A and B are shown apart, each in its own frame.
Chain A
């Protein structure tokens, strides 16, 4: 069946918007500021139980037996659940279902869930957990990709290729030929460490299965729709029996973009007990649930001609996946597929291997799969610029991809404001006067990037729209938007309100946005891959335009003119040719309601499928309707003796197509920059470094392998305000014909350049390269010492200006 779909290519729009591009308060912000907003854990139902989850203390162990009888007998315990009661394997990517709600046969990391208890309060639930007796057969922990690849022991017995979770090899053009032709080869080995999202709100779910066979779950999720599907599958319910509601979120950043044990546990325990059940993670459990950035081990080889043009990129990557797949199939593709702009390559090859390890599962963190390779390539470019004696900004300009073009791997790119981003940061940072000229210890570094505005394909194949919206208005003078998307703090509710207000002649405050409730709102796929502004924006625009048209037609009938003569703006309907002739918008709505009856429209969006990517296996993964572009300059102060790095300022210019709500775009740039700087310098989701081993120091001992080192926000450092640099957010607008009003993403792209720009700035400051993240004082001191030893030998003289 072929259906007609609206793939809206925006017409040129007038620049004199009333609401679009203006500064608005954020929808819902005051509730958060004043403490009125009710997050999931603020919700409470009568007779509600509290659930706690028992977790494996072993990194790798077969579960031989679970005895829950003592826990069940404890006073105040209402229900216990174990893995065999929810055996269905699931996964957010339907092709790789390798998780169970509770591990039934095997625990695969320290913290893997094996059983859960619902009790009258958390203390009782915790006490009951201690009474559950699990018999384990402890297996060899495989806590690094190297160990997992070398071992005959499989973490997932049914996996076909040992401990390889996903392998992708793609080549575009003759890479080896071009490398042979190159005037300059830059080779480097780069390590990107694991980092957690550290959202301030821990995951929480409240479930109630009522006596009419309806399961309602309130969850701090950013993907209500995917949660809805997986709950049905694992709990063996029909989707019509499940309602997923997402309350306000205290941060997500990718941490909440798939189902988690607590949602299944709360739901199942509610089904078993007939009572509402809440489950709230501890911070430690957030670090176990993880789905943070994958550690990448990257070997990059790039060939350049003498003018600095990139002839070839050859990228070899090992991804440390952790215990389960999560989005890993996509991550593995993204590790190469998202590298191919904003620079043009003649040839490109990447080979990426994701490996299962006995560690918390890695997944999508802001800038999914592409922040790590971006670090490698942007440092490679900096090294090339130094080798060629070129200014690093100039090198990037020379390799500019262009707009309305195709990348080497076949992605079709529309608008591209990357050169403008470079211009802006070059000027704002006074790059020309200062780069390579600052005193020893001070430095500037540059990096660029791109990101997607949603992925072209849903995680499951379908002909259905990716985004849907309903808008109603009535005689009250208000409009209501019902939208399935998740406002996770990024401000998607505001974006919808802005678009509706623009089209209906209202102010943003006149719009009520009801979002992310699977009973009340049309389906949207969720808050991931920076898709909502583009996709829901289109859907909302479609609905709002149609509704606005009805209002204008009703007013036109009243005034006996053409609907084109009526404009809706500033809470009025007015004559285009006579500004003195107007009626309040409420009266216009009354006229429309009288003529058309109850007023409502729908809007929806699906991505263009033809001619947006190449025709090879994996070609659609990473393809997007529109791409954002970013460039940053970072200024650092480095103390070469202690290795301390102080980031003084970051200038971040981002091409978001059109800023529908500029304050939110600035907020997204600042948040991205903050998060990236923290990853570069502080955060590390690492394991305990060493343990007792009789007879030897510094060796791993039994029991310590696979144990997370930092499981609180005291030990896992994220920057305080004092550690946060000054950030200059610069919005660049190059409207893309595929975005609503030309809008593209702003939530993830601006994170990418921060990390390589810091590394490049450190090189400008003190002349050493730190290619292994995080950049710690220790690594800097070691690099400076190594250089001094080299100098002493007289082998090579390194300075801030030579490679």
Chain B
């Protein structure tokens, strides 16, 4: 099997210690939580990690609670906990559903929300061994200077492959980030940049500590759809979260809505449906939205499966998502 390069593992027990470790170990320091994404990437050599700062003993990251109109989920809460929590299922069922679609039961036991938020981008040219990458000269994200997906491209287009992110954005969730300067809060979508090489908009001494998820109001309906080859294990090849808010008292008239599409490039794509305000939520709207998404989203040859099919599939999934939200 592939060998894991030797590394130093440090296991702090508080956020303060974590921050201190991050600031003292500048060279190839990595945060590890469940390790389900990091360890395979370390084995492939697509990332380096000489010092791994583990969050597993940091209990303050493991809180999951309801606070006012929010669900507050610590970055260290396991995906399994989120998927099966009665609290999450009762307040934000779409999140439990989407998180339950991540990978497999074993991986959800280990993986955490923070890890899924900061999941590395994926591309068929980067998720390969060092040997395979060397056989075609690497790429922008690994030991190379060119992109094999977009000829001449200067920005890496490796794909955001998290199942939780589109849903969190659709929900309007924020993340709390802590760094040497203290805490700051940003909307989840602002966590991502356009560059697949460094797609997380954090500095190396910052840590995501929790997500704040607004509990949807009665007039909000959200669903998540994922397509992958298999029914378990796989990363999504098409993923989309669809949110519909109806006008209070008129459950079949659109007030607002948004579609959040994953697996395009490093950033999720957010399409707002405010132009359809006042229109009936029906089959026609399903087609209209599918058309908008299809026009504005361009799957690339970054993950397996043809771009043309994934585009078509995305439109179908959007249409079906909206249908599933009819009352």
Whether both chains belong to one complex is answered with yes
Find B304's partner among A280, A703, A709 (CB 8 Å cutoff): A709
Mark B118-149 against chain A: 1 for CB-CB distance below 8 A, else 0: 00000010011101101111000000001110
Q: Report the stretch among B77-85, B89-97, B230-238 that lies at the interface.
A: B230-238
Shortest beta-carbon distance from B45 to chain A in Å: 10
User: Whole-angstrom distance between the alpha carbons of A723 and B104 in the complex?
Assistant: 13
Pairwise interchain contact B316-A691, C-beta atoms closer than 8 A: no
Mark B234-249 against chain A: 1 for CB-CB distance below 8 A, else 0: 1000000000000000
Known: A692-B146, A722-B230, A777-B313. A282 touches B2 (CB 8 A): yes
User: Whole-angstrom distance between the alpha carbons of A693 and B231 in the complex?
Assistant: 35
Is A126 in the interface zone, CB < 8 Å from B?
Answer: yes
Query: A714 contacts which chain B residues (CB < 8 A)?
Result: 40, 127, 233-234
Is A123 in the interface zone, CB < 8 Å from B?
Answer: yes
Pairwise interchain contact B230-A694, C-beta atoms closer than 8 A: no
Q: Report the stretch among A153-161, A506-514, A551-559, A682-690 that lies at the interface.
A: A682-690
Mark A279-308 against chain B: 1 for CB-CB distance below 8 A, else 0: 010111000000000000000000000000
Is B7 in the interface zone, CB < 8 Å from A?
Answer: no
Pairwise interchain contact A280-B128, C-beta atoms closer than 8 A: no
Find B309's partner among A641, A691, A777 (CB 8 Å cutoff): A777
Find A717's partner among B146, B234, B306 (CB 8 Å cutoff): B234
User: Whole-angstrom distance between the alpha carbons of A35 and B234 in the complex?
Assistant: 27
Pairwise interchain contact B304-A704, C-beta atoms closer than 8 A: no
Pairwise interchain contact A722-B132, C-beta atoms closer than 8 A: no
Is B67 in the interface zone, CB < 8 Å from A?
Answer: no
Kindly state the interface size class of chain B when it binds its partner: 35 or more
Residue of B nearest to A684 (CB): B304
Find A123's partner among B3, B146, B147, B306 (CB 8 Å cutoff): B3
Find A703's partner among B135, B147, B305, B306 (CB 8 Å cutoff): B135
Interface of B is mostly: loop
Kindly state the interface size class of chain A when it binds its partner: 35 or more
Query: A777 contacts which chain B residues (CB < 8 A)?
Result: 309, 313
Shortest beta-carbon distance from A203 to chain B in Å: 12
Pairwise interchain contact B306-A778, C-beta atoms closer than 8 A: yes
Is B312 in the interface zone, CB < 8 Å from A?
Answer: yes
User: Whole-angstrom distance between the alpha carbons of A708 and B316 in the complex?
Assistant: 31
Pairwise interchain contact B137-A703, C-beta atoms closer than 8 A: yes
Known: A280-B1, A284-B132, A692-B146. A641 touches B306 (CB 8 A): no
Pairwise interchain contact B1-A57, C-beta atoms closer than 8 A: no
Shortest beta-carbon distance from A686 to chain B in Å: 10
User: Whole-angstrom distance between the alpha carbons of A641 and B317 in the complex?
Assistant: 10
Query: B234 contacts which chain A residues (CB < 8 A)?
Result: 714, 717
Pairwise interchain contact A720-B231, C-beta atoms closer than 8 A: yes
Is A772 in the interface zone, CB < 8 Å from B?
Answer: no
Known: A123-B3, A202-B1, A714-B233. A691 touches B132 (CB 8 A): no
Known: A707-B135, A711-B132. A691 touches B230 (CB 8 A): no
Is B229 in the interface zone, CB < 8 Å from A?
Answer: yes
Find B131's partner among A57, A202, A721 (CB 8 Å cutoff): A57
Pairwise interchain contact A110-B135, C-beta atoms closer than 8 A: yes
Pairwise interchain contact B3-A122, C-beta atoms closer than 8 A: yes
User: Whole-angstrom distance between the alpha carbons of A57 and B227 in the complex?
Assistant: 33
Shortest beta-carbon distance from A777 to chain B in Å: 7
Mark A102-146 against chain B: 1 for CB-CB distance below 8 A, else 0: 000000001000000000001100100000000000000000000
Known: A126-B3, A282-B1. A720 touches B309 (CB 8 A): no
8 A Cβ contacts from A664-723 to B: 682, 688-697, 701, 703-704, 707-712, 714-715, 717, 719-723
Pairwise interchain contact B129-A692, C-beta atoms closer than 8 A: no
Residues of chain B having any CB pair with chain A under 8 Å = 1-3, 5-6, 40, 104, 124, 127-129, 131-132, 134-137, 146-148, 151-152, 227, 229-234, 301, 304-306, 308-309, 312-313, 316
Q: Which 4 A-B pairs have the closest CB atoms?
A: A57-B135, A722-B231, A778-B309, A703-B136
